Structure 1
């Protein structure tokens, strides 16, 4: 599957209702002038081809500064992963292909009921007096 370009207009709908059976969306925040971004692009593209059950998307930080700011992007490339609309991973820096494959394996293995329960627990603790 080819990568998809995300903007402020389609970011939320892509994350919340991905057209992937797995519910997984990888987002690469990048810029054309960024050397590490350009080096990571073929790795990301090959992973997209090899994982058609996952949505691979890219946000051009130069063209979408408001979206990048809203997502608290401080350096690029930054990779974020969402599953079932929940952010489960965020890290600045390019990844080698074995690390990206391992990361996908871990995200697929997540028990999302446990993740949701942990979020509820953390929200309750944060709102307790």
Structure 2
């Protein structure tokens, strides 16, 4: 399978995709759910969720998760990263807004963030430690 270079996979992950996170859970298959995220090459994957959500509880317990981003039309491409959680911190309008704007655009994203931020909102940061990638356009 045609793999991406380090630069290609980091650039791909930084593009706009709905990610799918997976996190282990006891006595069941891993939890796998779609999520919005932000990533800049060389940085951390950042997701926004709420304290008390299933994903927050499982990520906190596991201390790690994986995220997959993909293109769903040919030629198919995907990147999967996995790593340890580096921080779980309160989300503010200033820190959550860029995630919402990334997916909705300036006006709608700002409104979404303003309505979505609560005292339970958190950001979870993960530093990618392992990468898998394929780019079928290279065949």
What is the TM-score of this pair, normalised by structure 1? 0.30
Which structure's residues are more often helix, by fraction? Answer: 1
Q: Please give the TM-score of this superposition, normalised by the length of structure 2.
A: 0.28
More strand, by proportion: 2
